[in-house]
Amino acid sequence: MRGFSVVIGFFLLMFGNSCQRSYDTAYMTCTPVPVDQDSSALVKFASDNHIMTTKDPSGFYYEIIDSGSAPMPSNASTIYVTYVGKLMDGSTFDSSKNSDSTGWVLNTLLQGWYLALPKIGTGGHMKLLLPSALAFSCAGSGDGRVPSNAPVYYDINLVRFK
């Protein structure tokens, strides 16, 4: 089943958006930075933007604005979200205001997303700060909007899931 997820993830990378995992050849030839290397940049971004974060043991930071309603999605859930993705300089690299244009299986997305999104339910809202190792890593995004080893921020609304 995991091989199927890799194929789907590759398809979504080629034809999807930038919150999906990168399976290009650059990832196979680069060395990811340790998760903790991005901590100071993430903490500074949170402070500068008045985000009251909690640090997850896996290394990402988050603030739950609204926990939404139970149940929470699993990694096999198809999620429908609205979101904005930003670099640490505040520039937006991706966004979606239409949840109907999403509909992604959670375990095909960035590692930080599939670790964090199960913390909220339908109608939930979170702010998520990902170290590069849990986002686009040393490869950056396939479309070039996220550079290599760049930590990122997402403001995510979980509209629904199935």
Residue with tokens 């999906």: 20
| SS3 label, residue 5 | helix
CB 153 within 8 A of CB 129: yes
Here the CATH number for the domain that contains residue 70 is 3.10.50.40
Look up the domain containing 74 and give its range: 2-161
| SS3 label, residue 140 | coil
pLDDT tens string 138-162: 999 989 999 999 999 999 999 999 9
| SS3 label, residue 159 | strand
Q: How far apart are CA 29 and CA 19, in angstroms?
A: 21
pLDDT tens string 86-132: 999 999 999 999 999 999 999 999 999 999 999 999 999 999 999 99
The predicted model scores a pTM of 0.84
At residue 136, what is the residue type?
F
Least trusted range by pLDDT, from 22-31, 36-45, 59-68: 22-31
CA distances from residue 155 to 3, 29, 96 in whole angstroms, order as listed: 30, 30, 11
- pLDDT (0 to 100) of residue 146: 97
Number of domains, the chain: 1
- pLDDT (0 to 100) of residue 28: 63
Structure tokens at 7: 């194929």
Percent of the chain with pLDDT over 90: 80
- Per DSSP (E only), the strands in 3-151 are 54-55, 61-66, 78-87, 92-96, 104-105, 124-130
Q: How far apart are CA 154 and CA 10, in angstroms?
A: 22
Mean pLDDT (the chain, rounded): 88
